[in-house]
Structure 1
Amino acid sequence: MQSAKMTLRVFLENSFRVLRKFLFRVVSVGPIPSHVAFIMDGNRRYAKKHKLQLGSGHRIGLFTLMSMLKYCYELGVKYVSVYAFSVDNFNRRPEEVEFMMALMEEKIEELLMEESIVNKFGVRIQFIGNLKLLKDSTREAAGRAMAATAKNDNFVLLICVAYTSTDEIMNAIQKSYNDKLCKLQGSSYSGIDQDFEITITDIERHMCMSTTPEPDILIRTSGAKRLSNFLLWQSTNTCLYSPTVLWPEISLWHLTWAVLKFQQVPQNFEKKKKQI
């Protein structure tokens, strides 16, 4: 009986893999997004909906994230950003914040295992945000992950933690100001010059995602139609998609539909023509 179940499972997995490969080949006729961002909304509601213990929704949500990473990699996406923990989330109950930090550390260690998706696909992990707000052990785990995957270049996973766009923008402005101030103090020129004005280029150079292309698609689950202070600076031309499913319920079909919506934008086809 157990052998029959295992055989059926392998058959279904292989069938789904073939179907996925065919689907991606069809979708690849159109332009493929370079960068997909996710707001993983609905983990707590999923746990409540299914009467699960505290934190179970987040654990299932991390399994879902691994599936999304695999699908994006197979589709040809180069960058994936996820909104893992905002600065505002530190205002939640202390026990919930502590659980999330412990879970993050646990999953970071799992990602670094030899057989994990990170090593299988050559994923470079980058943590984006005000990491000084993290507890020491969590910050150290994030540092180990970034150091261990720094040479991987097939695929980039940007984990936004202790992050909000307003915090990112304010930090970029402050760094730009400090740069200009140092330049002024080292200059003999006493007047005001355009070289000492803070420009958009200065600010963008100091943004957390300065080396990452702007997201082509931003998917927020649970049907909410707001960005919640995520990638506000970078999402001017981003295609937004808000399926009503909770994050643990998102599937291959939702990702495919988001890509199809992205492909409906004429400018994206023009970009692909230029690349051919």
Structure 2
Amino acid sequence: MALESKLKDNSTRMNKLYRFGMGLDMKNNSDGLVSRLFGNLVSSMRKFLFRILSVGPIPNHLAFILDGNRRYAKKWNLQEETGYKCGFWALMPMLKYCYELGVTYVTIYAFSIDNFKRGPKEVQCLMGLMQEKIEGLLEEESIVHQFGVRVHFIGNLKLLPESVKVGAEKVMKATANNNKKVLLICVAYTSTDEIVHAAQESCQRKWDEIREMKPGGGAHSFEISNESQEEEERRFIKLVDLEQCIYMGVAPDPDILFRTAGETRLSNFLLWQTPTCLLYSPGVLFPEIGLRHLVWAVLNFQRAYSYVEKKKKQL
């Protein structure tokens, strides 16, 4: 009973911290005036800090690998589900900070295709939690409505349970007209699957295009020798064809890729999109990530900006 009480207290405390950080509980707090004054002071200081940072270049796209949720749960003797919830409560303020700073695109690696290999109980737990959080994106107090965020779910969505897939499609449809900020949630995603999908889709599109060019013809009916050089070149798949079919084609390449817990592996995430991306690997577990980590990453980005831009032009 003591352990259950501790788990409940820790979960409740993290939830309160999240809601306070997002400004959701101030009206209902018994010390509402003090909470609002303190919250306004913190918000003003943060905006002043962001104004200083805005003197330099601000990254357009940040990506996050949410690593360390299970280790956080183990560290504090919590259930794994609580660890994932703590990760979500840390993510929401981070999204808020990013959008306040002026970042337009934020991508999060929420669930890999490889994660389906975990135990059935854990996968079921993650899918249930994901469905709950997807539904929460449409609540009036959510970050989607605060910042006018358009949400894209990126990945092989047909691998998801039907209820989660329907929820994701509902959110994408409901936010389709939002044009201020963008949130990309990678679920049932790996970069290798994305590249294979792009290759297959490109081949199918090219095949359909060739059939339109040669009406009534089959695969062996082309007179290659009579084709012009332009027609012959149109039969080949080019880089631009693949890029049009990449899942992440709805966003520019990320400027900074965060991976918490001190890990420096990409783990099959955005391999196509990160040739010049800066990698940032703070030692904290993801539920422990905070404003200071974002500020430090942006300062490093500004320091390396000229060099990275030069490298981009060389590609």
**Would the TM-score normalized by the shorter structure come out above 0.5?**
yes
Matches within 5 A, 1:43-62: 43-62=69-88
In the TM superposition, what whole-angstrom CA distance separates every residue of 1:133-192 from its partner, at most 9, and x where no partner exists?
000000000011101111111110000000000000000000111112222333334328
2:72 & 2:43 partners in 1: Cα distance?
27
**Structure 2 counterpart of 1:34, one-letter code:** N
Match of 1:274 in 2: none
- Provide Cα deviations, 1:197-224, integer angstroms capped at 9, x if missing partner: 1111100010011131110111110000
| Secondary structure at the counterpart of residue 243 of structure 1 | coil
The structure-2 alpha-carbon separation of the partners of 1:35 and 1:9, relative to structure 1 and needing over 3 Å to count, comes to same
d(CA) in 1 for partners of 2:31, 2:79: 28
Using a 3 Å threshold, how does the CA distance of structure 1 residues 109 and 31 change in structure 2: closer, same or farther? same
User: Alpha carbon RMSD of aligned pairs, Å?
Assistant: 1.9
Once residues 308 and 114 of structure 2 are traced to their aligned partners in structure 1, the CA distance between those partners, rounded to angstroms, is: 38
CA shift for structure 1 position 194 = 1.2
Q: Which ranges in structure 2 are unaligned for 5 or more consecutive residues?
A: 1-27, 215-221, 311-315
| One-letter amino acid of the counterpart of residue 169, structure 2 | G
Equivalent residue number for residue 19 of structure 2: none
In the alignment, structure 1 residue 211 sits paired with structure 2 residue 250: yes
Pair 1:247 & 2:273 matched: no
Identity %, equivalent residues: 54
Cα distance in 1 for partners of 2:163, 2:309 equals 47
Post-superposition offset of 1:53:
1.4
Quick one: structure 1 residues 4 and 115, their matched pair in 2 at CA, closer, same or farther if it must change by over 3 Å? Answer: closer
Q: Distance between the aligned counterparts of 1:161 and 1:155, measured in 2? A: 19
Q: What is the one-letter code of the residue matched to 1:24?
A: F
Instruction: Go from structure 1 to structure 2 and tell me whether the alpha carbon gap of 1:256 and 1:3 turns closer, same or farther (over 3 Å shift).
Output: closer
Q: Paired residue for 2:132, among 106, 109, 116?
A: 106
1:171 aligned residue: 197
Q: How far off is 1:10 after superposition?
A: 3.4
Contact in 1 for aligned 2:276/2:308 (Cα 8 Å): no
Deviations 1:33-82 (A, max 9, x none): 11000001000100110111121011111111110110011100000000
From the superposition, tell whether residues 111 and 3 of structure 1 become closer, same or farther in structure 2 (CA, over 3 Å). closer
> What is the distance in 1 between the residues matched to 2:150 and 2:213?
40
TM-score scaled by length of structure 2: 0.82
Question: Among 10, 14, 21, which residue is 2:47 paired with?
Answer: 21
Tell me the residue number matched to 2:238: 199
Which residue of structure 2 aligns with residue 223 of structure 1? 262
Provide the rounded CA distance (Å) in 1 between the counterparts of 2:171 and 2:96: 19
TM-score, normalised by the number of residues in structure 1? 0.93
- Larger CA Rg, structure 1 vs 2: 2
